[in-house]
Amino acid sequence: MRGELAEPVVLEMLSDAEVMLRVASGDDSAFDYLVDKYRRPMISFMYRMTHNQAVAEELAQEVILRVYRSRQGYAASAKFTTWLYRIATNLAVNHARDTKHERPENTVNIDEPDADTGMTVDVADSGLNAEQIILRRERLAAIRRQVEALPERQRMAVLMHKYQNMDYKEIAAVLKLSESATKSLLFRAYETLRETLRQFI
C-alpha cells in the first residue's frame, strides 16, 4: 500500500516524456497518471473545437486511445504535449471535415459550464446587473463566432495559444510550422479578431 501511495509522487517528479517512456515499457500506472493529468484539458480543447460536450468527450477518449496504441513507437524527441496536441488537432480537423454538413447552426449554449472550471459564464461575476450579463453574453458569443470563422490553422493556433496556454514554439511544433510562421499566423488571426470585434472592445 505504501508503494502505491508513493507512485504518483515519483511520476510527478518526471517530465511527461519520461512518464510516457514508462508507459511504452509497460507501466500502466504511468498511463493512468497521464490520463488523469490530460483528460480534462483534452475535453476542454475538443469542446472549443466542436461545441458539443458529448463529441468532445468522445474525441478526447479517442486521443487517449491513440496515445496508448502508439506507446511502443513513442520517441521522446519532442515535448509530450506537442505529440499529444498533434494527435488532438488531427482528430479535430478530421472530425470537422467529416461533419461539415451535419453541424446544426446553434449548438452552443453560453450557459453551459466551462470545461475548465465547471462554472457557468456568469457565476464568477455575480455582481453584474442583468444588462451587463446580457452584454457579456453577447460579447462572448461574438468572440466565439469570429474565432470559428477564422481559417482552420489560425483557429487552431488561437485555441492553443489563448485557451491551452501554449507558447509559439509548442504551437509551431504541433502545426509543423516555423516559429516565425506561427507568430505571423497568430498575428493575422488576432488582427482579424480585433477588426471584426471592434464594437465589443
Q: What is the pLDDT of residues 13-47, one digit of tens each?
A: 888 999 999 999 889 899 999 999 999 999 988 88
Higher pLDDT, 113 or 85: 85
Q: What is the pLDDT of residues 13-22, one digit of tens each?
A: 888 999 999 9
CATH 3.40.50.10490 fits 1-106, yes or no: no
What rounded mean pLDDT belongs to the chain? 79
Angle 137-183-43 from CA coordinates, rounded to 5°: 45
Cα distance between residue 87 and residue 189, in whole Å: 23
Mean pLDDT across 130-154: 80
User: Which residues lie below 8 Å from residue 149, measured CB to CB, with a gap of 6+?
Assistant: 196
Domain limits, the chain = 1-106
Cα distance between residue 74 and residue 193, in whole Å: 37
Whether pLDDT at 78 is above 80:
no
Residue 178 pLDDT grade (very low, low, confident, very high; cuts 50, 70, 90): very high
